[in-house]
Structure 1
Amino acid sequence: MARKKRSSSVESSSEGSAYTYDYETADAESGSGYSGGYRSNKTMMQLLKENKRAITKYTFYILFLAVLVVVVNNTRASWLTYEFNERLRERFELRAYSIDDVEVTLDEQRDAKQMYIYMRDYLLPGVYETTNGAAPNTSPKTTTNEFGTILQNLRRVGAPRIRQLRMKKDTCDIKKRFQSFVDTCVGPFEKKKQDKAPYGPGGVFTYSAAEDEKVLWIERRVYTSGGFLVTLGPDLASSVSNVTYLMENGFVDVQTRLIDFRMAWYNPYLDTVSVVTIAWEFLASGGARPFSSFHTVELNGFGADRSAAFEITFEIFLWIMTAIFIALQIYSLIRQGKKYFRSGWNWVNVVLVILLLLTIAFRVATVALVEDFEFVVSDSQYVDFSKIEFASLNVRRCLAILIVMMFFRMFEFLETNTKLNQLLRTMQESGSDLALFLIVILIVIFAFVFSAQLLFAESVEGFARFSFTLSRLFRFALGDFDYSELTRADFSLGPLFFYAFIIIVYLVLINLGLAIILSAHEKVMSSVEEQRWAGADPGPLTEAWIIVKNKFRSVAGLKPVRVVSARQKAFSEADANQDGLLSAKELNNFIKKHPDRAPDLLGIDNAKQLMERYDPRNPVAFNREEARAFFSVLDERRQLLVLHEKIVHLADALGVDQPDDVVVSTSSS
């Protein structure tokens, strides 16, 4: 950058060695003390012109991110939606019921008998409650198009439906010694081996493809669409009768692997439908395992409590800016070829493009499905919202990942400022060490994972699977552990496992990882200080801030602010006679008087570093040759700085831009 110079560079010989340094002396009217430093003589327009391409790129991305933030805010579920789902969850999942004189919740049900009792005596009465909250009316309705209402404002859409998925018999082998009294073996659910044959009295229960039905994910188990479907009646009496019939005629048997109960509730104020799924997995290990989910679908495609026009406008902005962003990436790919993929940030851009396209695709699908969705207004027919639910849920999932990556993408634009870029540089500096350390971590963690599964898998649910165990041990490392469950599972080796894991992972490895990161951060900070010592260009962001700040100070009648490097300040103070020359005597006197300022003046932290740098074989004292070499290097640095200042000054005087290829080395020879 061009600088105003109040004194020219001077060369001279003094005691020991000649030093030249061209610095800015204090303004005459400023009194004593140093006020020199970097102060841009450019206007904001000149700065914008010089950094036009970068500023255009930054501005576009910030606007893109701002539009995405608005869209995310419009897409998220409102607190009223949360209240809507929470009331349903309290009603059907969290409430305790008395089954066989035992108080249990939905999550505590463990067999088909408890499922039937809960469904008949508690679930269905909750579904068919009257508007005012009184006891359910068990008498049949005279009409079938009157929707039921619960919680004063939630209307049931259609009738509930029960679905079953079954497995074929003999889908697993029976050991020979047990074949005499075990006649059949049914394995876990598999799509290829599911049973679709009619069964029950006279084959009354028949399979229906129901391709529109959503695939059900429970943890990592996938249950396909279709199944044996039973649509319940329009009132409590007929629905209870249906469930009783299923219970008495063996609807659930040894081949059953899934029972799910689905219904939908409409909120007229929010214009949303909450799809409620309550399911029971009948695992091959025996017993039942309950599951429930509550998802909300906005039927108008936009939040009912916000301005639809406002949301549509920003949706369109997002699509336009996505098209521009994709076009820019394609242009860069064509122009750079294979070099495009050498940049990590370009790989991030590729992922962003994929996420943006998926988000728009799911968003368009949601709106299209809502617009085309039609159903008969009847509470005796099941209404399937599964496709709309699936598309709407995936819009939020894509946006959740996209918004995180878009914000992290901002770190690329902070690379021009050394202080703002500390986090990214620290991760880059520690990357190789952390990768090696990760190998050590994985070896230790896998050892404990397999050990934990052997010791606790049969007694503690969190260790029943490899993925569960890995997650549980990770939580152990963060301090979330239950010592008592380990001792109950194995009273002898449980405590030994716990203390070994805590000492090795929690106290040793985690602290080693932190030490690697802190060491890398210290190196980054040293690099920042080295650049500060050498008077590095502050970058366009800092330069713009200086211009704006000085404008305000000028209006207030204050002196302009200067960015002063530690090197400039220290050399000005060390130059006792202010003649522009720094002799060995002046250098020695300054270090004696201000030993804490040596890092600023010489670019080192202590005398030991100085000795090791110029006399590594005997870092105790300098002889004449070593001292001469040191002062020669120091003088070379000053000469280079002076030469750079002259080039900048000449370029400024001629009215041309500063050469971009001028580099001043401040490292030792």
Structure 2
Amino acid sequence: VAPTRHNAAPQQPVGEPPQWTGLWGTTLTENTSDNRELFVRTTLRELLVYLVFLVDICLLTYGMTSSNTYYYTKVMTDLFVLTPSDSGVAFQSISSMADFWTYAQGPLLDGLYWTKWYNNQSLQNGDQSFIYYENMLLGVPRMRQIKVMNNSCKVHKDFRNEISGCFDVYNEKKEDEVDFGLVNGTAWQYHNEKEIKGSAHWGLLTTYSGGGYYQDLNRTKEESAEILMEMNNNLWLDHGTRAVFIDFSTYNANINLFCVIRLLVEFPATGGAIPSFQIRTVKLIRYITYWDYFIIGCEMVFCLFILYYIVEEILELRIHGFSYFSSIWNTLDVVVILLAIVAIIFNVFRTIKVDKLLGKLLEQPDIYADFEFLAFWQTQYNNMNAVNLFFAWIKVFKYISFNKTMTQLSSTLGRCAKDIMGFAIMFFIVFFAYAQLGYLLFGTEVKSFSTFVKCIFTQFRIILGDFDYDSIERANRVLGPIYFVTYVFFVFFVLLNMFLAIINDTYSEVKEELSSQKDELQITDIIKQSYMKTFMKLKLKKEKISDVQKVLRSGSNKLEFKDFRETLKELGHADHEISEAFSKFDHDGNQILDQEEQERMKRELEEKRVSGLAQQPWKKLWEWLSGEIDGGYRRAWQAK
């Protein structure tokens, strides 16, 4: 059974006229099932159009990115995360509430407010801060904390006399919403997510809501320091605090990039502190330079392409119905189009939202500039474009995979899919058994085994040779080595090699079957035909009859097809041309030209040369050579 080709999409019944040709003509809308040349030419046209679309989407995607984003992120990370205070406390080293206040009143304030040059001369921008002299601080920074209620958990009766309060791990249902401390002011009064237009955040320990108790700092360092001192003295952080957020945004006009920074310190129920940070460098203002206006043109072309492909997919769906989705490539077409439509809608939304937010900020520079929402969705937009571009490149295989060489990979994967699925069940039973064993044995001491999910990724890393054996052995001196040795033996040496053996055997079978198949017209043949015609017009191509006669002169009493084919292929002839020429004289269909058949070929070739046909274009010569071959004889040779 011949391997299934990628393009084996439903075709129209043979004999029906094409329903859509020309601009909207594709291999699914034209009747190409009985016309190999039409199929190849249609596919080639689709490929050329798609390559233009691919270049356009690449320009759009890379036009929205810049190498400056990395350096901008690195500069801000070095300043706000790695810079230590006089006592040596940096954000990354915060381990207690005291360390948090040391950092907030030291490196944080020093990093936020830059109003003087390094020689203490004024920047002459009033109280507007320019971090590193280049990055304007937008609005004022905001600090926000989330708390849990007292008695949100139960204390064992044996400890109730010594422990009066119990603050559980964070849960949105247990979030504290009661005013505390000084009561007056936003720092001591609870505000829900809707009131402060906040958004949930996925931290290292859990996901936190967008509400809480917040305090906006000031535009000057001195006033902000007073605010922090008051919060520290009145115990703003206490037993119930589970997370503190520090949010602010900057803008660099030199490179037209926004940097939206969120510093998070989580205070788990175990005590201590766990710092983390999120720095999103995004391009929110799109159209400033000439390059940006070039990107506008690319965006318009992109929209036209999406409209074109929408119409094309609708026509194909109309012809084939739900059977259209039987091909994974058609499903991929729909996915790419849907992602593109979402990207276009979001691009319009983002442009309007940024203009509105910047206008409000310019009117009220003393308020908190909340770019977190836009930065989050801009990041998701970039991620979506990255995935869409990936799928767009993968889709190129749709147009080149019917080539015999390209078919081998897809046919191999398709044929061994059932075997791989059966193997996967056995593999993951063993794999997850070891993951649970590792979690229970080492989860309390080894970070890479601290959660079940981390165990899964750690075991994949072990397969690739990335592991920390010493930590496993320290966690359990007896079961640790046993776990490691048996896992490597069963999973790496046994199961992984079984997986490779399944693919290797199937690949060998597919390759053997493809080598025995009849050669069909390929895209490369169409291209060869085109440039050979051009060379003939320029008299740069040698006479084809001479090539065939050269092969006959070098042959023996019995000339095999494979030798005939290899020699002519080296001289630049296409497979289907060689096959047709050989079959005309191979009367018995044994793919061997005996002495009599060779003499007949030589005689007819010489007659045509003498008659002057060799001076005609190669197309007419080949029409004679392939001729009107007897239908019954040709079918018999192909079957043979």
Check if 1:318 corresponds to 2:302.
yes
1:79-109 per-position Cα deviation (integer Å, ceiling 9, x unaligned): 222222211111111234454xxx4542332
Between the aligned partners of 1:576 and 1:466, the Cα distance in structure 2 is 71
Between the aligned partners of 2:294 and 2:508, the Cα distance in structure 1 is 48
Matching residue of 2:392? 406
Check if 1:287 corresponds to 2:253.
no
Between the aligned partners of 1:355 and 1:667, the Cα distance in structure 2 is 47
What is the letter of the counterpart of residue 577 of structure 1? N
Matching residue of 1:447? 433
**Is the Cα–Cα contact under 8 Å of residues 36 and 521 in structure 2 kept in the other structure?**
no
Which one of 527, 546, 551 corresponds to residue 534 of structure 2? 551
Check if 1:61 corresponds to 2:73.
no
Deviation at 1:449, TM superposition (A): 0.7
Which one of 69, 77, 85 corresponds to residue 81 of structure 1? 69
Matching residue of 2:322? 338
* Shift in CA distance, 237/85, structure 1 to aligned 2, threshold 3 Å: same
Which one of 135, 143, 148 corresponds to residue 162 of structure 1? 143
Check if 1:179 corresponds to 2:141.
no
Matching residue of 2:262? 277
Between the aligned partners of 1:167 and 1:463, the Cα distance in structure 2 is 28
Matching residue of 2:82? 94
What is the letter of the counterpart of residue 162 of structure 2? F
Between the aligned partners of 1:252 and 1:190, the Cα distance in structure 2 is 18
What is the letter of the counterpart of residue 291 of structure 1? S
1:612-661 per-position Cα deviation (integer Å, ceiling 9, x unaligned): xxxxxxxxxxxxxxxxxxxxxx967659xx9xxxxxx9x967999999xx
* Shift in CA distance, 237/243, structure 1 to aligned 2, threshold 3 Å: same
Deviation at 1:401, TM superposition (A): 0.8
TM-score between both structures, scaled by the size of structure 1: 0.74
TM-score between both structures, scaled by the size of structure 2: 0.77
Structure 1 runs of 4+ aligned residues shifted over 6 Å read 46-50, 571-575, 634-637, 653-659, 662-668
Matching residue of 1:149? 130
Which one of 149, 171, 174 corresponds to residue 193 of structure 1? 174
Which one of 189, 204, 211 corresponds to residue 226 of structure 1? 211
**Is the Cα–Cα contact under 8 Å of residues 214 and 390 in structure 1 kept in the other structure?**
no
Deviation at 1:516, TM superposition (A): 2.3
Which one of 542, 557, 566 corresponds to residue 577 of structure 1? 557
What is the letter of the counterpart of residue 292 of structure 1? F
User: How do 1:355-394 residues align onto structure 2 when only pairs under 5 Å count?
Assistant: 355-373=339-357, 374-377=359-362, 380-394=366-380
* Shift in CA distance, 130/145, structure 1 to aligned 2, threshold 3 Å: closer
User: How do 1:517-536 residues align onto structure 2 when only pairs under 5 Å count?
Assistant: 517-531=503-517, 534=518, 536=519
Higher relative contact order (CA 8 A, sep 6+): 1
Matching residue of 1:603? none
**Is the Cα–Cα contact under 8 Å of residues 267 and 273 in structure 1 kept in the other structure?**
yes
* Shift in CA distance, 53/67, structure 1 to aligned 2, threshold 3 Å: same
Between the aligned partners of 2:496 and 2:38, the Cα distance in structure 1 is 48
Which one of 190, 214, 229 corresponds to residue 207 of structure 1? 190
Which one of 517, 521, 524 corresponds to residue 541 of structure 1? 524
**Is the Cα–Cα contact under 8 Å of residues 128 and 235 in structure 1 kept in the other structure?**
yes
Matching residue of 2:583? none
Between the aligned partners of 1:360 and 1:663, the Cα distance in structure 2 is 54
* Shift in CA distance, 318/219, structure 1 to aligned 2, threshold 3 Å: farther
Matching residue of 1:486? 472
Secondary structure at the aligned position of 1:155 is classed as strand
User: How do 1:492-531 residues align onto structure 2 when only pairs under 5 Å count?
Assistant: 492-531=478-517
Matching residue of 1:301? 286
* Shift in CA distance, 526/156, structure 1 to aligned 2, threshold 3 Å: same
For structure 2, the 5+ residue unaligned runs are 1-34, 567-586, 598-619
Between the aligned partners of 1:561 and 1:310, the Cα distance in structure 2 is 49
**Is the Cα–Cα contact under 8 Å of residues 554 and 560 in structure 1 kept in the other structure?**
no
Between the aligned partners of 2:342 and 2:42, the Cα distance in structure 1 is 29
Deviation at 1:561, TM superposition (A): 8.2
**Is the Cα–Cα contact under 8 Å of residues 156 and 265 in structure 1 kept in the other structure?**
yes
Between the aligned partners of 1:472 and 1:658, the Cα distance in structure 2 is 67
Secondary structure at the aligned position of 1:196 is classed as coil
**Is the Cα–Cα contact under 8 Å of residues 129 and 150 in structure 1 kept in the other structure?**
yes
Between the aligned partners of 1:451 and 1:560, the Cα distance in structure 2 is 74
Using the TM superposition, name which of 522-531 and 256-265 deviates more: 522-531
* Shift in CA distance, 243/544, structure 1 to aligned 2, threshold 3 Å: same
Matching residue of 2:448? 462
* Shift in CA distance, 291/553, structure 1 to aligned 2, threshold 3 Å: farther
What is the letter of the counterpart of residue 84 of structure 1? Y
Deviation at 1:335, TM superposition (A): 2.2
Deviation at 1:117, TM superposition (A): 0.7
Using the TM superposition, name which of 241-250 and 195-204 deviates more: 195-204
Secondary structure at the aligned position of 1:420 is classed as helix
**Is the Cα–Cα contact under 8 Å of residues 44 and 523 in structure 2 kept in the other structure?**
no
User: How do 1:34-45 residues align onto structure 2 when only pairs under 5 Å count?
Assistant: none
Deviation at 1:663, TM superposition (A): 7.0
What is the letter of the counterpart of residue 79 of structure 1? S
1:116-168 per-position Cα deviation (integer Å, ceiling 9, x unaligned): 1111122111211344246799xxx9x99631122121121111110111222
Secondary structure at the aligned position of 1:294 is classed as strand
**Is the Cα–Cα contact under 8 Å of residues 210 and 226 in structure 1 kept in the other structure?**
yes
Between the aligned partners of 1:125 and 1:561, the Cα distance in structure 2 is 82
* Shift in CA distance, 310/493, structure 1 to aligned 2, threshold 3 Å: same
**Is the Cα–Cα contact under 8 Å of residues 144 and 379 in structure 1 kept in the other structure?**
no
Counting aligned pairs with the same residue, the percent is: 23
1:49-82 per-position Cα deviation (integer Å, ceiling 9, x unaligned): 6755333422332222121111111122x12222
What is the letter of the counterpart of residue 224 of structure 2? S
Matching residue of 1:425? 411
Deviation at 1:573, TM superposition (A): 10
Deviation at 1:553, TM superposition (A): 7.4
* Shift in CA distance, 94/202, structure 1 to aligned 2, threshold 3 Å: closer
What is the letter of the counterpart of residue 137 of structure 2? R
Between the aligned partners of 1:359 and 1:252, the Cα distance in structure 2 is 42
Check if 1:249 corresponds to 2:234.
yes
What is the aligned residue count? 552
Deviation at 1:114, TM superposition (A): 0.9
